[in-house]
Amino acid sequence: MSRRPPATTSVRPIAHLSLVDRVTDELHRAILNGDIAPGSTVSIVDLCEQFAVSHIPVREALRRLESEGLLSLRPGRSALVASLSVEDLSGIYRLRKLIEGDLALRVASAITPETVAASSAALGEYAEIEREPSALAYTHHAFHTALLSDVAGPADLQVLTMLWKSSDRYLHLAMSDIDSGPEATEHRIREHQLLLDLAQQGDGAELAQAWVAHLDSSEKALLEALANREELSH
């Protein structure tokens, strides 16, 4: 019989199937949703008890999340969740604008009907998904990946995946403003639909401009949310 997690737990029990993937997914969800606080220390022993698993899948899950920049393993039996900062967030978006802006400039002349169909399907899922940070992040990545797939190579996607997951850590801060209601959600969907429309029209310069503007908008919202969080903490 698995033990019930303590009353203060911030993660949910999981089934014993594909343990490493499930533990990784659950920890990822908890970090993205803010259930495990930025800058906090998590105990491997406590996680093993909460998940009712051995230390092996927990350590492997933590190693995966460390490779994504979400936390760092510490000597002994714990890990430190990455902190949030203006400098970190600004650096992430500076790199995203450089890389994604360049890819967007080229994708308009290379997009295929298959890519349009895949991007439309991903956008449809994004529109219907539960408005929760980890769920939104997954479908958001799927749309961007699909739309850039004709020009993004393995190295591009590897770097972008790391940047996307790093920026996702801030998403829970702005959930009260981003996708907070029907109007806000519709605005976000229209932003993404515009990117797809411009790609189909073949105007690389306009698509790149709109893509960077989309990233600017997201960065601004997250920076404001981070500033509000810091004010409340003082």
Domain containing 93 — which CATH number?
1.20.120.530
User: Structural domain tally of the chain?
Assistant: 2
Structural domain boundaries, residue 131? 86-233
44 and 127 belong to one structural domain: no
155 and 225 belong to one structural domain: yes
Whether 6 is covered by a domain: the verdict is no
Q: Which of 165, 106, 190, 27 is nearest to 157 (CA)?
A: 165
Q: Which residue, among 28, 25, 30, has the nearest Cα to 5 in the 3D structure?
A: 30
Average model confidence (pLDDT) for the chain?
Answer: 85
* pLDDT above 80 (res 233): no
Q: What does pTM read for this prediction?
A: 0.80
Domain boundary among 81, 104, 130: 81
Report phi then psi at 136, rounded to 5. Answer: -65, -40
The arithmetic mean of pLDDT across residues 145-155, rounded, is 94
Give mean pLDDT, residues 68-93.
91
State both tokens at 81.
């969740």
The per-residue pLDDT for 182 is 66
Residues 96 and 212 in one domain: yes
Asked whether the beta carbons of 24 and 62 are under 8 A apart, the reply is: no
Neighbours of 12 (CB within 10 A): 12
pLDDT in tens, 188-197: 889 999 999 9
Query: Which tens digit of pLDDT belongs to each residue from 14-37?
Result: 444 578 999 999 998 898 888 898
Q: With CA atoms as reference, report the closest residue to 171 among 207, 104, 221, 117.
A: 221
